[in-house]
Amino acid sequence: MQELAQDLVRELFDYKDGALHWKQSLNRRIRIGSRAGSLNKQDGRVQVRINGSMYKAHRLVFLWHHGYLPEYIDHIDGNPANNRIENLRECSLSQNQWNRKVCKNNTSGYKGVWFSKQTNKWQVEVHSEGRKYYGGLFADAESANKAAIELRKSLHKDFAKHK
């Protein structure tokens, strides 16, 4: 996959309300003014094919606006199809992971909260920068969740996601 430059992206696309629109027709199936890209059903991201190479639309939008491509880009609201520039921010891999939703196999329904059979209590653990932070033991999941939220806020700052 070739590295794109801002001038090429701006030459190929217009940006409007989080979507890229073709300014040029690279083949007979592309209509000038039409929305660029298609939804990848596996990850929910919009992808765009340019000269045989596939690119994630959020990366093209970021490049279109900022002129460079960071290693990682975070969707602030967690919606991978929302490519409004206001919803995109540069981040580290850790910060991108902090902004994830609750995993599907989570049994408590709360991020960072799990039931310890050994203590018969709800335990709080939050991960940050490769370390595990212990948040305490609680009689009920709701109290544990409140503690987990506070711990995430202190560790993850603006990237803390609670649901």
The pLDDT of residue 112 is: 94
Q: Are 156 and 133 in contact (CB under 8 A)?
A: no
pTM, to two decimals? 0.84
What CATH code would you report for 101-159?
3.30.730.10
Residue type, 109: G
The pLDDT of residue 54 is: 94
Residue type, 40: N
End-to-end CA, the chain: 35
Task: Tell me the DSSP string of 2-47.
Answer: PPP-HHHHHHHEEEETTEEEESS-SSTT--TTSBP-EE-TTT--EE
Q: Are 125 and 58 in contact (CB under 8 A)?
A: no
Domains 6-91 and 101-159 share a fold: no
The pLDDT of residue 79 is: 93
pLDDT digits (tens, 9 = 90+) for 100-135: 888 888 889 999 999 999 999 999 999 998 899 999
**Residue 22 has which token pair?**
């073709």
Alpha-carbon distance of 49 to 33, in angstroms, equals 16
What CATH code would you report for 6-91?
3.90.75.20
The pLDDT of residue 2 is: 59
The pLDDT of residue 47 is: 97
Q: Where are the domains of the chain?
A: 6-91, 101-159
The contacts found for 147-151 with CB under 8 angstroms, 24 or more apart, are 148/110, 148/111, 148/112, 148/113, 148/124, 151/112, 151/124, 151/126
Percent of the chain whose predicted confidence (pLDDT) is above 90: 81
Q: Are 122 and 138 in contact (CB under 8 A)?
A: yes
pLDDT digits (tens, 9 = 90+) for 18-70: 999 999 888 888 899 999 999 999 999 999 999 889 999 999 999 999 999 99
